Structure 1
Amino acid sequence: MSLVVYLAAGLFGLSAVVLFRRPRTAVRNPLTVSTCVSIVLGSVVFVCSAPITLAAVNGLTGIPNFGAPLTYGMLSAYSCSLLILLIQWRGGPGERVRRMVLRSIAAYGPLVVAIIVLFALGDAHTERLTDLDTYYANTPYLREMILLYLVGHSAATLAMCAVCVKWSREVTGLLRAGLRLILAGLLLDVVGFQLTKYTAVVARWSGHDLDVLSTTVAPPMASLGALLCSAGFVLPRLLPPALAHARGLRDYRRLGPLWSRVRFVSTAPKPPSTWWQLPQERLHWREVSIHDALLGLAPYFDDRVRERALADARSAGRTPHEARIAAEAAMLADAARRAAAREEPPGAPSGYRLHATEVSGTDGLVELAQALVRPPAEITVREGTVRTSHG
């Protein structure tokens, strides 16, 4: 069981690291801070609940079962943090958000204190690493402590379920998908963890033994439910930038043919090369460098090359836009060849503006780059025809 909860804690922690990858920016965003705090507390709960950790805590403190109130207190703090996270996620007037956050803390702060006090008053001298809830289900004070932490966790879970159901009717897209994942995780926690715990404890009250529900079924169900909740909170935050970076990496690679043609002209300073540089940052640098190179090649643009290529593209049945891009690619290829060979620019400056320099973003550059990826013979024939006409 320790392996299962440690794995859940590790996955929890990994998502927090991803969200908090830029600390200076993250600490200024209450939503990011709340998300990371909740994930970290969830990881701590899993680590604390592992039998190996419980044994270590009990041994270090010299108090049998001291790991129990530690775990239950952390679970209550985690429940509170989930409510705060949901409050921050939904947003609203700042004063209202602060008031609801303070109410959540006011409700769960005394709950944590009560758990510790009840443990101190109870008699828990026999160490139990996996079945404490059922073993001490009939012990005064400890019985109340167990029931209190379960009720506190159930209250937070049911409140979140109600909010998720209501809110999911009002939103769409990734936010709705995230809320549904959270709701699935909460329902799994309710059925797989809380209900089995309540059933096992009540069975002990009535003289029956259903400890297997508490010791074998509940822990993995709690881990799976928490992971689903974590995915629900993280998905709307990480998926959009992840998709943006994926598009950035795709466009960065698609600009390769254009960059290989003009890179010798660019004078843009190259940023420090770091392995963790994000795709969008690499794309931005390549975009700036290509524009700088196009500016340097402008004196070599030959309208005759472009017009001949434009006529060929139109006769081949291309649309006006496709023909324009193909003609610009041919003119650019000719200009790059002239500049690389240190030839003199054509007589009169062209003054022609490429489509890629008239539109924002990288779409125009990508179109130009892809137009350069043609059978070499096609460009060679066009360039050779122009050179012949020059001769």
Structure 2
Amino acid sequence: MSLVVYLAAAVLALSAAVLFRRPRTTPVRPSALRNALTVSTCVAITLGAVVFLCSAPMTLAAVNDLTGVPNFGAPLTYGLLSAYSCSLLILLINWRGGPREQVRRLVLRSIAVYAPLIVAIVVLFTLADARVERLTDLDTYYANTPGMREMIVLYLLGHSAAIVAMAVVCVRWGREVTGLLRAGLWLIFVGAVLDLVGFQFAKYTAVVARWTGHDLDFLSTQVAPPMAALAALICSVGFVLPRLLPAAVAHWRGLRDHRRLDPLWLRVGFVSTAPKPPSSWWQSPAERLHYREVAIHDALLALAPYFDDRVRERARGAALAEGRSTHEARLLAEAAMVGAAVRRAAAREEPLETVSAYRLHATEVSGAGGLVELAQALGGTDIPATMREGTVRAF
């Protein structure tokens, strides 16, 4: 049981760490709201990880031994679970957004409800007689004990209220949005339903069974913990997916375009005078791609005096004669012109007397798309030996 709970805690902690360290490449909201959303998401997921960590039997035994108080881990875990429930509500409030004062008011209301709940859990445990240490079946063992009984019901009701509210908000909001946000909300809803049915219903049933003189402890000790772990993981995926996936896609595109620019950079990089980027291992693919774009544009500008329109026109005519489209013919013609300019520059020939006024397609479009097309058109030609032996360094 401890292994399953520890695994869930580790996955949640990793999710929080990745989310907190992600590059800020998707700024859609004002920075203050974005920071509040990031912090509240990380806090909620981290609290979930801490709850699972504290609820493991091995951890409970260690906490009890350390404090010298039998079952001290119970109010600690239940208090943290209530704080986790509150953090889920705060996360949804920040995620939904709205006027800053309204968001702040709703956050304070959530705290005002759950802070007394946590205090009540601690007070009830202090007043109760719980001298027998129970690591796996405390809820059912003390289901009829004054003080402990109320504490158990109180933490379950607090968690249920938060999960039900979260499920309702997800359903309502999910009808208004589309795309990744909607997918994330439905994942959160699935996790909430799984928590309600698999964890809370099992706990309630086992406790009520004890009240009526029956024994359904297995629901509390064997069914509820793994279901709670699965529900928390699904909810975390729902919270993290809409925030991390766009950044992950941007990273992948940056890596792809950076690699696809290699044929062009290997030819023109030796004439670039653009400043070298800082060699940091944590530099994002988008930053590396930006540096390479700047350097290539600088190199093409330096090669402009060597551009020969006659080479371009001959290559364009040959491409059209082969049945190429107008756009393909233009790219192949530009690649031939750039290749010829590179050979002249590498041989240190004098620039052409008549400077071409032609503008490359890559300089007419924004982003890396035009450069990538030019690089792919150049990809089929041989790299001059001068280029291979030069001082080109990959950005």
Normalized against structure 1, the TM-score is what?
0.94
1:131 aligns with 2:115: no
Counterpart Cα distance in 1 of 2:189 and 2:298: 51
CA offsets per residue over residues 128-172 of structure 1, 9 Å max, x none? 011000000010110000000001000110011111111101110
Paired residue for 2:280? Answer: 274
CA contact (8 A) 1:54 1:65 kept: yes
Whole-angstrom CA distance in 2 between matches of 1:193 and 1:22: 32
Deviation at 1:351, TM superposition (A): 2.0
Contact 1:185 1:226 in 2 (8 A): yes
In structure 1, C-alpha distance between the alignment counterparts of 2:171 and 2:11, rounded to whole Å: 26
| Partner of residue 251 from structure 1, selected from 244, 254, 257 | 257
Superposition deviation, residue 345 in structure 1? 2.0
Instruction: Identify the match of residue 342 of structure 1 among 348, 354, 378.
Output: 348
2:303–2:345: 8 Å Cα contact kept in structure 1?
Answer: yes
Among residues 187, 192, 203, which one is paired with 2:193 in the alignment?
187
Cα displacement (A) at 1:228 = 0.4
State the Cα deviation string for residues 203-226 of structure 1 (Å, max 9, x = none): 111111111111111111000000
Contact 1:20/1:26 (8 A) holds in 2: no
Report the CA distance shift for 1:172/1:102 in structure 2 as closer, same or farther (over 3 A). same
Structure 2: how far apart are the matches of 1:328 and 1:26?
46
Q: C-alpha displacement at 1:85, in angstroms? A: 0.3
Q: What displacement does 1:353 show?
A: 1.2
Superposition map of 1:1-391 within 5 A: 1-21=1-21, 29-374=35-380, 376=382
Answer whether contact 2:33 2:94 (CA < 8 A) is retained: no
Q: Which amino acid aligns with 1:6?
A: Y
Give the TM-score normalised by the residue count of structure 2. Answer: 0.93
Q: Which residue of 2 aligns with 1:384?
A: none
User: Separation in 2 of the partners of 1:58 and 1:322?
Assistant: 73
The amino acid of 1:3's aligned partner reads: L
User: 1:67, 1:183 → 2: CA distance?
Assistant: 30
1:266/1:296 contact within 8 Å kept? yes
% same residue: 76
In the aligned structure 1, how far is the partner of 2:47 from the partner of 2:110?
16
Would you say how many aligned residue pairs link Structure 1 and Structure 2? 378
Separation in structure 2 between the aligned mates of residue 27 and residue 167 of structure 1, nearest angstrom: 18
Whichever residue aligns with residue 101 of structure 1, its letter is V
3-state SS in 1 of match to 2:271: coil
SS of alignment partner, residue 247 of structure 2:
helix
Deviation at 1:22, TM superposition (A): 6.4
**Structure 1 Cα separation of the partners of residues 159 and 188 of structure 2:** 15
1:142 corresponds to which letter in structure 2? M
**CA RMSD of superposed structures (Å):** 1.6
